[in-house]
């Protein structure tokens, strides 16, 4: 029973991480460069609009829900010393929580706030966008890779140990 709860939870977490990977990949792969081609002021306005909408979307449930599942699963892996393959389970959770969630909270969100704080001053927006585009995208690449790594480790665990 406990093993099936882990398998179901990990499957749901991996689906969530896979969806997050897709979102982050889209931003890294083409959305940010497309926005940048609009020019700094328009790019900043568009990204601010995206950030406002995303806070009221299903993305937030997926973001927090998948993180919570991986936290619980990583904790199970640490405390259940008899669990076969537990370090794969722990690694999936740890990489996701640190590389996706904490990276977002510590780097991407503050950059989003800085972009929003540029206000309506076009010079401030243009200057902020230049910094934002470079650094936000770099951190987003990390979120993409870590989310994908969590999916791969989750699948490995599900195939090998459940």
Write the pLDDT tens digit of every residue in 58-70: 999 999 999 999 9
User: What was the pLDDT predicted at 85?
Assistant: 95
Closest-CA residue to 146 (of 29, 18, 5) = 18
80: left (phi over 0), alpha (psi -120 to 50) or beta: beta
What confidence tens digit (pLDDT) does each residue in 130-144 have?
A: 999 999 999 999 999
Domain ranges in the chain? 2-161
User: What was the pLDDT predicted at 58?
Assistant: 96
CA 115 to chain centre: 19
Q: Tell me the HSE value of 75 on the side-chain side, using a 13 A CA sphere.
A: 7
What confidence tens digit (pLDDT) does each residue in 2-50 have?
A: 789 999 999 999 999 999 999 999 999 999 999 999 999 999 999 999 9
């Amino acid at each position: 029973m406990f093993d099936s709860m882990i398998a179901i939870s990990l499957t749901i977490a991996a689906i969530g991480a896979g969806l997050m990977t897709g979102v982050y990949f889209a931003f890294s792969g083409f959305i940010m460069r497309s926005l940048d081609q609009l020019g700094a002021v328009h790019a900043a306005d568009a990204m601010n609009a995206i950030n406002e909408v995303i806070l009221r979307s299903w993305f937030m449930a997926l973001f927090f829900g998948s993180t919570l599942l991986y936290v619980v699963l990583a904790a199970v892996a640490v405390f259940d010393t008899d669990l076969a393959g537990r370090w794969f389970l722990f690694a999936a959770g740890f990489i996701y929580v640190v590389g996706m969630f904490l990276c977002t909270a510590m780097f991407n969100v503050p950059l989003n706030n800085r972009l929003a704080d540029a206000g309506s001053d076009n010079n401030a927006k243009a200057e902020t966008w230049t910094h934002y585009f470079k650094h936000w995208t770099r951190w987003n690449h990390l979120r993409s890779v870590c989310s994908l790594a969590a999916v791969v480790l989750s699948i490995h665990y599900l195939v090998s140990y459940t």
